[in-house]
Every structure is written in C-alpha cells, then in structure tokens.
Homo-oligomer: A and B are copies of this chain.
C-alpha cells in the first residue's frame, strides 16, 4: 500500500488554506493522507477516527489539524483525488488506433485491475454517497460523461449505433461497476479476462441469440 497509495495523495484542494511551508510539513501531510486512505478504507468514515489516522501516520493527534480543517475535509480530499485516479487509470491503456470496442474493453480491464488493487477506494467512493453526496454525484456524472464521449466517438466512426445517448453511458457504467464489485472486490473466483469477454460481447450483441451464432 505504501508505494501505491503514495501516488494517491490528494493535492491541496482549492479550499484548503493549510499548505505546508516546509519539507517536513510536506512529509507529515503526505503521511496523514496515506493513513487516512487506509483508515477510511478499512473502517468506513464513521468508524474511522482522527486518532486512528494519526496513529497510523505516526504523528501526534494535534498535528492533524495543522493540515486539515476537519474529518470531513480530509475525506472530501480523498474522494476527489481518488475519483481523479480512477479517471487517469481508465485511460492509461487506451491507444489512438484502437477500435471503439477495443477501447471500451481496455478501459474495463484497466478498471478491473484498479478495483482489484485498490479495494479500499471503492468503499471510500461509495461511502461518499452519505458523507459527501456532491462528490459522489460528481464522480459518477463525470465518469458517465467520459464514457459517453467515447461511445459518441464510436458512433461517429460508424462502429456504434448512431443514436447513442446519455443513458447508454449510464448503462455501460453500471455494468462495469457491478462486474467490478462482484468479480474484483468481493471475490476473484473467475478470471477477469473472461468477465471482460462477457462484457465486450454484451456491448457487441446484447444478450439475445443471434442467427449468426
């Protein structure tokens, strides 16, 4: 987790007026953020405690408030940063010359890998529905927008149906999220490649029998 979540560190949000001014401060802030990701991921927002965070971070309780205004604030930071990570990750494997279907599959595979490696992230984002609803909506709205963008591009190229609309993006997103939850977060009893095959075929043909089959 250390190396991985190191990269998860949220940048100072625009509202956080507590920017560390020294190297040492920088380090402390980073430790707190890592610790918070662990703590929230393991215990959930309400069971998590500031003292749990500072203990994991190896700092004094009071130091928390040197860098964050409140429990809510650090949680918000985390959610938004993680949302960002999900986005960055989704695009990591996509190449310009892929077909639209290949693109979707690649994005899904990346998502699966990410979900498997960062199970705690999903707990955190999901819990935002209750702790920071705005971030939660924003996360899914932005994700849907990106998917919609890709689908539309596929439609323009003639690969996807021309009447693609927002609902298609939400349908794809829901499918992806639930498959990720079931096959990457809850258990990995099936190879994710196979699950990705099923999803790809779903996009290609739906679930009805094709005469071509």
Contact = CB atoms under 8 A, between A and B. Distances in A.
Given A159-B208, A162-B209, A171-B179, 14 more contacts: A46-B46, A101-B208, A123-B130, A126-B130, A162-B213, A165-B198, A167-B182, A167-B199, A168-B207, A170-B175, A170-B182, A202-B206, A205-B208, A206-B206
A213 B126 contact: no
A149 interface: no
A209 B158 contact: yes
Interface in A139-173: 140, 144, 151, 155, 158-162, 164-165, 167-168, 170-173
Interface residues of A, number: 52
Interface in A186-213: 186, 190, 194-195, 198-199, 201-210, 213
A178 B170 contact: yes
Contacts of A18: none
A209 B171 contact: no
Majority secondary structure, A binding face: helix
Contacts of A198: 165, 167-168, 171
Contact of A167 (B158, B165, B179): B179
A179 B169 CA distance: 10
